[in-house]
Amino acid sequence: MSKRKTKYVCQECGYESPKWMGKCPGCNTWNTMVEELEPTRTAAGKGAFRTGAALSSKSVPITDIQTEDEARILTSIQEINRVLGGGIVPGSLVLVGGDPGIGKSTLLLQLSGILAQQEHKVLYVSGEESLRQTKMRADRLHMSSKQLHVLAETDVTHIEKQIEEQQPKVVIIDSIQTVYQEEITSAPGSVAQVRECTAAFMRIAKTKGIAIFLVGHVTKEGSIAGPRLLEHMVDAVLYLEGERHHTYRILRAVKNRFGSTNEIGIFEMKDIGLTEVQNPSEMFLEQRAMGAAGSTVIASIEGTRPVLVELQALVSPTSFGTPRRMATGVDHHRVSLIMAVLEKRVGLLLQNQDAYINVAGGVRLNEPALDLGIAVSIASSFRDKPTSPYDIIIGEIGLTGEVRGVSRIEQRVLEARKLGFKRAIIPEKNTSGWEHPQDMKIIGVSSISEALRVVMEANE
């Protein structure tokens, strides 16, 4: 088979050249020329190009299209099932990203072994390790099954042949930056190689109904390495987050065509691999300091389940001309907004104070229901008055100082009750329309001033 021709196209203006140039002659920008494959012409006509779809296809009314619920592949790892929206969808293309050494390969090798034990044939393609190295890692994870096939290969053509021969249910590609297509002269991991290889795996997944997982490296900024188009091509994008020197890992969906993008799965790294955390709220609160100023507990909804986390604030006089505002785990712009509301509506003089906000446990949260907890933590640290360790604080804050209602209040409160909390300070709007737990006091507040008065007075 003759090689297909390649060309270099400027990603800014579309200028085409048969060879690479550092500076584009069309728009005078540097390092924008990227190698691409030229489309092949068919014998049907001079202007016709070969595509994946048949040229004779016709449109049909949407009411005439027959649908059927295709069974998902369920694994024994419930956290992965939750993040994927209820299991692995046959024919889906999933991209898994994360920092080096965070546990991407470990998680996917564990998933491969579990699926193989469930009698699903799995092909694990390693472009970074030899067969012996993969076997050593599998032995450490206690993964062994005749249904788990391992291939050390980086050529897409050879990988496709193996998929044709083996006919697996699931394919793992570790990683997309190591595989290459022979027709493209650029090195593996380049923009052209990553794009074309991903397109090839997408065609395999859609035409054969095979679920394919791609491992993706990340850049210094934390995004998937390669073209941004890569995330648009796949069906789901999962990020494995966490500090390398901490044991907990969070699998977060940032794109999912078959489920919610708000779901997270929480794992703990151990000698035998990643294990599920059954009760994340208890895990996030296990090292909480009782009766410390600036510490509050908030309830966040992550996908379909509530998660309780400790929010810590430290407010101290600044030694600089401009006070510092730092936030870990929450949006620092939102923290600055809440501090402005506290100054204007409550009268706290925070303009000469440094403020440091931290969500304990390394989790990142982003929802309005955290606002009231942030405000109470800042006020508690500023006044050096601890809040009650048995209070759960929920609510959104407006610019006029009002406390607005939040969604799914009943789930949040019931999760707090299970962990032994005695009081819930919630928006006044959320106090009606549901049955309150008898052994828990529900207090509705309508303003941030009222909330601070209730919280601070109860602990004096």
What Å distances lie between residue 90 and 74, 194, 339, CA to CA? 11, 23, 48
Would you say 18 is a known binding-site residue? no
The annotation status of 270 as a binding-site residue, yes or no, is no
pLDDT computed for residue 63 by the predictor = 87
User: What pLDDT, on the 0 to 100 scale, is given for residue 45?
Assistant: 44
> Does 280 count as an annotated binding residue?
no
Q: Mean pLDDT in each 10-residue stretch from start to end of the chain (460 residues)?
A: 72 82 89 76 44 61 78 91 92 92 92 94 94 93 92 95 95 93 83 87 94 85 63 91 78 89 86 87 84 92 87 92 90 94 93 92 86 96 93 95 94 92 95 91 95 80
28 exposure class (CB count in 10 Å sphere: 0-12, 13-18, 19+)? exposed
pLDDT of residue 48: 41
Distance separating alpha carbons of residues 336 and 341, to the nearest angstrom: 9
The reply, when asked if residue 87 is annotated as ligand binding, is no
Is 98 annotated to bind a ligand? Reply is yes
Q: Which two tokens stand for residue 214?
A: 């791609």
* Annotated binding-site residue? 362: no
- Give the end-to-end CA distance of the chain in Å, rounded to a whole number: 82
405 is in an annotated binding site: no
Cis omega before residue 175 (within 30°)?
yes
Asked if residue 76 belongs to a known ligand binding site, the reply is no
Contact 252, 82 (CB under 8 A): no
Q: Give the three-class secondary structure for 170.
A: strand
